[in-house]
């Protein structure tokens, strides 16, 4: 057999192998994986974040420390507001 014929036979085998993989139900399908969509940031978010960072840092503070305190305040307020429900859930556990 010539090299050209052997190469053609090899390509045919490869194509058949690829078709077999596509038809197998056990083959993992990357397209079927559910991707989590990132929540969209509001329009102008980056600009306001940059401005807030500049203001906090101009006053001698750390933007990320300030942001962390804001997060803590939200959680603490939520916990105080829902203290009765949290206590009931904790008792059930």
Stated pTM of the model: 0.47
Dist. CA 62–CA 69, nearest whole Å: 11
| Domain boundaries along the sequence of the chain | 62-93
List, in order, residues 6 or more apart from 28 with CB less than 8 Å away.
none
Segment 68-85 shows an average pLDDT of 87
pLDDT band at 12 (very low <50, low <70, confident <90, very high): low
Q: 52-62: per-residue pLDDT in tens?
A: 999 999 999 99
List, in order, residues 6 or more apart from 79 with CB less than 8 Å away.
86
Q: 18-54: per-residue pLDDT in tens?
A: 555 555 555 555 566 788 888 888 999 999 999 999 9
Residue 87 has pLDDT above 90, yes or no: no
């Amino acid at each position: 057999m010539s090299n050209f014929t052997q190469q053609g036979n090899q390509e045919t085998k490869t194509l058949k192998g690829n078709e077999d993989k596509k038809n197998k139900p056990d083959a993992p399908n990357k397209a079927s994986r559910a991707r989590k969509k990132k929540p969209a940031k509001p329009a102008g978010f980056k600009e306001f974040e940059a401005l807030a960072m500049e203001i906090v840092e101009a006053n001698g503070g750390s933007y990320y420390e300030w942001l962390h305190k804001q997060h803590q305040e939200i959680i603490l307020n939520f916990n105080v507001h829902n203290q009765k429900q949290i206590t009931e859930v904790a008792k059930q556990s």
